[in-house]
Each structure stands twice: as C-alpha cells, then as structure tokens.
C-alpha cells in the first residue's frame, strides 16, 4: 500500500525565499503544509496567494519549535504515514525529499546531516554555529548513546506513528534536543542521511538574545538538562560545561 505523506515547512519572515523554495518543494512533494509562525515582512501575503499549499498561521511569532509542533499535530490529524520537514531559507535541496521518505521504511526518524560526508560545493559554516553544533552533538551522543553528526539539521522525515509517542513542549530552537531525548526514551529507530552544507546568508539571525553564542549555548544546555531530568538518559548536562569554553 503506498505511503501517504506530506512535506511541512516552518516559515517566519522568509519573503526573499518562500516562493522559490515552495515551487521547488512542490515539484517533489504531492502535498505541502506551511506553518507561518507570525510573519510580518510580506511572507504571509505571498502564502495566502498560493492555492497549492495547506496553510496554518500562528497569530504571533511563537518560535521554531512551536511551528514544528504544529506541523507534527497537523500530520497526525491528517492521518499521514510520513512527515518530511524542510526549512524555507534555501539551505536544503527539495530533490532529496523522496529519498528521505523512502528511508522511513527502515527508520522512525531520518535526520539530515550536513557533516556526515562532504559535498563538492559545500559552504563553510559560520565558525561559532559549527562549534556549538559539534559540542552539543557530542554531548547528546555521550548522554544518549547515539552516533549523530548533526543535532540541529531541519531536514528530517518522521513516521507519524512515532511522533504520536512524543510529548514535545519546547517552543524555541532547542526543541530538537527535547526530541532526541524523547526519541531515545521511546526506543525510536534513528538514521542520518547526508545533505549538502549550504549557507546562502551567513549573517542570518536567530533573533533576540540567541544571537549571542554564549547565551544560545546556555539555552541549549538548559533544554537538554530539563529533557534529561524528565525522560532520563544520563547525568545532568550542567556538569558538561567542561566540554567547551564558558563563551565561544
């Protein structure tokens, strides 16, 4: 029986990229869900003009994790078997979507990795972002017994039945850390697939206090600590500050 699947994009203020990215995604995905997380830059108007997508809007900006959780809820409500998530900033290649869907035959979560192998046209990642990603990924692996190479890639595919076993609450960029802890607790099967490393705009902002590397790093450890305290997986990561410098 063919799998029924959908591709979801969390979107916030992506007026420069949204139409081009959605055109590419539509070429590889029969159904597209967009969660507009309170855009104010004209993105909302572009999305409203597209009859080829399912659109869910947050009245105000709630955060990347909140947008993903809305996508998860919509996939469950729509009785899909597989959900693909892809970011809307042009960093992911939509032609890889069918490959991720196919990989769900052997896994509950198929996670893209920009560091699993090198591609000829890979970008050079911003040094601070790469350092924090590597540090947090190493801590996750040590605490959870995983072998991830990229804890934060937004290009993923999920078996929707597996999503039903998670109780995610984090609204911000740290939500993937909560997801990894709960996925291990639930015994989900996880695999990584290599994707190119593409940065179209290295000056892109996380927004607010998270633009400061030390603040962002502390926030990630806080999310991880709280998730581990609730769902298990080793000692508190607060003790892991020795894994990296106080500030980057």
More confident residue, 220 or 204: 220
pLDDT tens for 87-97 read 988 788 999 99
pLDDT tens for 20-66 read 999 999 999 999 999 999 999 999 999 999 999 999 999 999 999 99
pLDDT at 192 over 90: yes
Is-above-0.95 flag for pTM?
A: no
The answer to whether 101 and 205 are in contact (CB under 8 A) is: no
Other Cβ atoms within 10 Å of 113 Cβ, number: 20
Which residues, in sequence order, are bridge partners of residue 32?
7
- The residue count of the chain comes to 248
The answer to whether 108 and 162 are in contact (CB under 8 A) is: yes
Rounded mean pLDDT, 141-155? 95
Closest C-alpha among 55, 60, 59 to residue 71:
55
Query: Which residues have a Cβ under 8 Å from the Cβ of 184 and sit 6 or more positions away?
Result: 144, 145, 146, 233
CA 93 to chain centre: 14
**pLDDT on residue 232:** 74
Domains assigned to the chain: 5-243 (3.90.550.10)
**pLDDT on residue 205:** 60
* Measured distance CA(58)–CA(96) in Å, rounded: 28
């Amino acid at each position: 029986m063919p799998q029924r699947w959908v591709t979801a994009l969390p979107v916030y203020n992506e007026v420069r990229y949204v139409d081009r990215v959605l055109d590419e995604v539509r070429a590889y995905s029969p159904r597209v869900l967009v969660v507009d997380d309170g855009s104010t830059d004209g993105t909302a108007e572009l999305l409203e003009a597209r009859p080829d997508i399912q659109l869910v809007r947050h009245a105000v900006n709630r955060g990347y994790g909140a947008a993903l959780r809305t996508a998860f809820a919509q996939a469950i409500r729509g009785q899909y078997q597989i959900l693909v998530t892809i970011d809307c900033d042009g960093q992911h290649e939509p032609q890889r979507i069918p490959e991720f869907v196919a990989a769900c035959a052997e896994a509950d979560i198929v996670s893209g990795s920009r560091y699993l192998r090198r591609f000829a046209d890979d970008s050079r990642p911003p040094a601070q972002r790469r350092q924090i990603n590597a540090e947090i990924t190493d801590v996750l692996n040590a605490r959870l017994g995983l072998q991830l190479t990229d804890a934060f890639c937004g290009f993923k595919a999920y078996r929707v039945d597996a999503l039903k076993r998670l109780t995610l609450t984090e609204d911000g960029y740290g939500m993937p850390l909560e997801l990894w802890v709960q996925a291990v607790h639930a015994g989900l099967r996880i695999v990584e697939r290599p994707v190119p490393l593409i940065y179209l705009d290295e000056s892109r902002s996380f927004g607010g206090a998270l633009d400061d590397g030390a603040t962002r790093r502390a926030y990630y450890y806080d999310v991880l600590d709280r998730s581990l305290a609730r769902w298990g997986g080793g000692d508190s990561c607060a003790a892991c500050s020795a894994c990296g410098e106080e500030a980057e």
